[in-house]
Amino acid sequence: MDEGLLDIAEVAKRSGLAPSALRFYEQKGLISATGRNGLRRTYDPATVDRLALVTSARDAGFTLTEIAELFAAKPTDSALRARLQAKAADLEERIAQLALMRDSLLHASVCLHDPLVDCPDFQRFVRSARPQPPA
């Protein structure tokens, strides 16, 4: 019964996730096995794509529950659309922060200030990284 279906070990290997994580995701409603071979789950290869989406979203700061909601959502859900746009805006901010952080790290890696914290470049970074300057 090798009709292009994958077992859990194969999906784990291709997705880079542990089998335990895949079962956990199933519990959470993020993925589902297409069927069973005896007790054993069998997966559609597309599951691997879906998992790539899951891990990306998770890394982007979504909780697993949010991701499940996303998957479950109808395109007619306008509240959802609003949430997506809000999330995108969050990401935008986050990206800017991370870029700053990256630059800071690169600088720190060649900086000679003893307490790194005293480096004026670091200070500058900290100041620009703060969205709301203190009142």
Partner DNA sequence: CTGCAACTTCAAGTGCGCTTCAAGTCAAGG
Partner DNA sequence: CCTTGACTTGAAGCGCACTTGAAGTTGCAG
Contact residues for a copy of itself (CB under 8 A)?
14, 16, 48-50, 52-53, 56-57, 59-60, 70-71, 73-75, 81-82, 84-85, 87-88, 91-92, 94-95, 97-102, 105-106, 108-117, 122-123, 125-127, 129-130, 132, 134-135
The backbone region for 55, taken as left when phi is positive above 0, alpha when psi lies in -120 to 50, beta otherwise, is alpha
Shortest distance, position 107 Cβ to a copy of itself, whole Å: 9
Q: Where are the alpha helices (DSSP H) in 5-63?
A: 8-15, 19-27, 46-59
| Chosen from DNA, a copy of itself, none, partner binding at 21 (C-beta under 5 to 8 Å by type) | DNA
Residue 7, by phi and psi: left (phi above 0), alpha (psi -120 to 50) or beta? beta
Shortest Å, Cβ 110 to DNA: 26
Q: Determine the 3-state secondary structure of 134 from DSSP.
A: coil
